[in-house]
Amino acid sequence: MVNTAAGYRPLQDGLRTVGRYLDNNGFRLVSLAVVEGGVFVTIAPEDFHKGGLYVFLSHDNLRDTVRIVVAERGQGNVPRPRDLFFPSAYEDFLRSLGALAVERRWEGLRFVRIGAVAVLHYGPSEQRGEVVLEQNDIEDIVNNAFEQRAFAIVPGRLGAVSRVSSSGSIAGLPEYAPPASRGGSDHPGADPAQR
């Protein structure tokens, strides 16, 4: 289990750092899978006649890098997004996705980009949930995270205002509740005191 006592949040900080890695290197995300030890990332090849790059970023590596990522934020050095499906770049989206996963208590997070949509899988294999995301859903996830962090959203920056229901949940993305028999969550982002 990853030590969260040092302030490192495996989903929010880990995915944010993966996003910065993709943005800084000009990579295009194909898929990612969050596992206990880190994040597996598949990167699209520059030349589609060759295979893509498959990278494992351990939580130890991500924990060390997140301090740099946070320190660099807001200094005008954020690369322009290469993939317009993610209009504010990968870092913002993946951090937002991590925050949403913690909020919803999603385990076994997998994200796969397929053409003009992305497929998000979550939950243990016997209860795997799946959501197909279009670009407006990506924008909604990012906008909702910005709103929760009290950032002012510039109209039109990421498209329409997020579709947040009166309950505060993002439209179309279901809540996940672990089975009562499991006695709580073993989610890497969960508070260890609640286990």
The mean of the pLDDT values for the chain is 74
Contact 61/117 with Cβ under 8 angstroms? no
Q: Please state the domain extents for the chain.
A: 12-134
For residue 112, give every residue at least 6 positions away whose Cβ sits within 8 Å of its Cβ, in sequence order, or none: 30, 31, 118, 119, 121
pLDDT at 186 over 80: no
Q: Per residue in 100-121, pLDDT tens?
A: 999 888 888 999 999 899 999 9
Which tops the pLDDT comparison, 150 or 7? 7
Six-digit token pair at 131?
């959501």
- The CA distances from residue 155 to 71, 152, 158, 160, 162, in Å, are 27, 9, 7, 7, 11
Average pLDDT for residues 157-161, to the nearest whole number? 38
**Local confidence band at 73 (pLDDT 50, 70, 90 cut-offs):** low
Percent of the chain that is helix, strand, coil (3-state, to 5): 35, 20, 45
pLDDT at 54 over 70: yes
Res 126: pLDDT: 82
- CA-nearest of 136, 160, 162 to 149 is 162
pLDDT at 182 over 50: no
**Local confidence band at 77 (pLDDT 50, 70, 90 cut-offs):** low
pLDDT at 184 over 50: no
Q: Per residue in 11-51, pLDDT tens?
A: 888 999 999 889 888 899 999 999 989 999 999 987 777 77
Contact 56/71 with Cβ under 8 angstroms? no
> Which single residue is written with the structure tokens 């937002």?
96
> Which single residue is written with the structure tokens 């991590």?
98
Query: 131-145: buried (b, 16+ CB within 10 Å) or exposed (e) per residue?
Result: eebebebbbbbbbbb
Q: pTM for the complete prediction?
A: 0.70
